[in-house]
């Protein structure tokens, strides 16, 4: 009897160990599935032969289909992030919206920009794969520059590229469109695959403010020592001239400066090209004059990056760098926090300046800040 009981307890113990092992394996498989999902959308895709020329899609009017909007962290709409099968249609609707807004005469002053040297300086060229990329700062452009550097053959993978090389335009091997002859420029604008990336305009301004005036990288001292004091002198209601740099730029000062149409232009002439971090998308890339193949959105970059690589015919040659979870998600709480101390009048003036960008790319107007 005692022997039988011993075997009985041994059997129960063995069953318990088996259950524990099964639970552990189940958890491990679950974590791996999450990791693999993240890796799958970090820039890997397939199905296009490298070098294939992608024909421009015939756009069909589809007024019933909503334009993709940034995800709201509080009330996420299921339709805001379409499925993979819809992504071609999403891209076409974005281009269609862009074309429609460009034809709106009431917004013409905010959307139409001539193809000047300033615009051509923003566009990087990859002749080997017939690609043009327009730089729109504060939307992950560093990673796209790395992709082009790899395509030009200087490095095998984006991970090998030193960070200090990416923005060194004398050494990174990325020619700008402005460096070519007028005939060469026209040929590339008419025949190459062209794209750029956008994000919610107000969230982009917050990112620019944090990066240039709060973090203030040591290799860009002019933002703290030159630009910030100039803005403070003109737009802060009270200040002391001998303490401008030490006091630091406030977001309220920044918003007043950006919303002042006439006064800002006089100040901007002092700053040169350093203002590109908060210049409108229309001024940077002239999207109503240049017919872009794709416009990606930062809020859906996990889907857009592999789609762009595939549409350009380079998805077998290079991968977009891994995207940290949640980094591209629109953060309404952050936007509300930064604008909480700003007057409605100043916010409305700011929106008036960036209204063209909101309309061109389907971002909803920030009524929750203005009303």
Q: What's the predicted TM-score (pTM) here? A: 0.76
Confidence band, pLDDT 50/70/90 cuts, at residue 82: low
Burial track 47-77 (b if 16+ CB lie within 10 A, e otherwise): ebeeeeeeeeeeeeeeeeeeebbbbbeeeee
d(CA 353, CA 339): 16
pLDDT at 83: 55
pLDDT at 78: 34
Closest CA to 186 of 120, 241, 250, 239: 120
Instruction: For the chain, state the CA radius of gyration.
Output: 25
pLDDT at 7: 54
pLDDT at 57: 32
Place of tokens 């990791």: 35
- Average pLDDT taken over every residue of the chain: 80
Exposed, middle or buried by CB within 10 Å (0-12, 13-18, 19+), for 113?
buried
pLDDT at 41: 27
Average the pLDDT over 205-234 and give the result: 88
Contacts with 26 (C-beta within 8 Å, 6 or more apart), sequence order: none
Average the pLDDT over 32-44 and give the result: 27
Q: Residue 63 pLDDT > 60, yes or no?
A: no
Place of tokens 């022997």: 3
Percent with pLDDT over 90 in the chain: 55
Q: How many residues does the chain have?
A: 371
Average the pLDDT over 59-83 and give the result: 37
Question: Is 134 in a helix, a strand, or coil?
Answer: strand
Burial track 145-172 (b if 16+ CB lie within 10 A, e otherwise): bbbbbbbbeebeebeebeeeebeeeeeb
pLDDT tens-digit profile of 223-271? 988 899 999 988 987 766 555 555 689 999 999 999 998 888 888 888 8
């Amino acid at each position: 009897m005692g022997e039988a009981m011993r075997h009985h307890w041994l059997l129960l113990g063995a069953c318990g160990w088996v259950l524990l092992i099964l639970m552990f394996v189940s958890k491990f498989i679950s974590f791996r599935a999450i990791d693999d999902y993240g890796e799958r959308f970090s820039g890997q895709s397939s199905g296009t032969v490298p070098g294939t020329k992608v024909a421009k899609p015939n756009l069909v009017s589809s007024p019933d289909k909503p334009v993709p909007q940034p995800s709201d962290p509080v009330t996420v709409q299921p339709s805001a992030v379409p499925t993979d099968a819809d992504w071609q249609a999403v891209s076409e609707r974005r281009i269609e919206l862009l074309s429609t807004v460009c034809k709106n005469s009431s917004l013409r002053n905010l959307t139409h920009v001539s193809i000047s040297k300033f615009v051509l300086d923003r566009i990087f060229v990859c002749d080997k794969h017939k690609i043009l990329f327009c730089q729109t700062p504060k939307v992950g452009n560093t990673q796209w520059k790395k992709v082009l550097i790899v395509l030009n053959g200087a490095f095998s993978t984006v991970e090998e590229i030193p960070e200090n090389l990416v923005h060194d335009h004398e050494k990174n091997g990325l020619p700008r469109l402005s460096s070519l002859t007028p005939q060469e420029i026209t040929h590339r604008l008419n025949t190459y695959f062209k794209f750029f990336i956008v994000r919610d305009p107000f969230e982009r301004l917050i990112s620019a403010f944090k990066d240039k005036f709060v973090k203030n990288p040591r290799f860009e001292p002019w933002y703290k020592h030159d630009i910030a004091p100039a803005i403070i002198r003109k737009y802060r209601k009270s200040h002391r001239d001998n303490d401008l740099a030490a006091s630091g730029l406030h977001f309220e000062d920044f918003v007043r400066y950006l919303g002042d149409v006439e006064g800002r232009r006089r100040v901007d002439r002092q700053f040169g090209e350093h203002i590109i971090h908060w210049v409108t998308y229309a001024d940077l890339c002239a999207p109503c004059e240049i017919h872009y193949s794709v416009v990606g959105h930062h809020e859906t970059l996990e889907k857009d990056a592999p789609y762009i690589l595939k549409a350009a015919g380079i998805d077998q040659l290079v991968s977009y760098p891994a995207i940290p979870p949640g980094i591209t998600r629109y953060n309404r709480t952050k936007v509300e926090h930064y604008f909480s101390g700003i007057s409605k009048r100043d916010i409305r003036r700011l929106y008036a300046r960036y209204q063209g960008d909101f309309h061109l790319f389907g971002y909803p107007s920030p009524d929750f800040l203005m009303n």
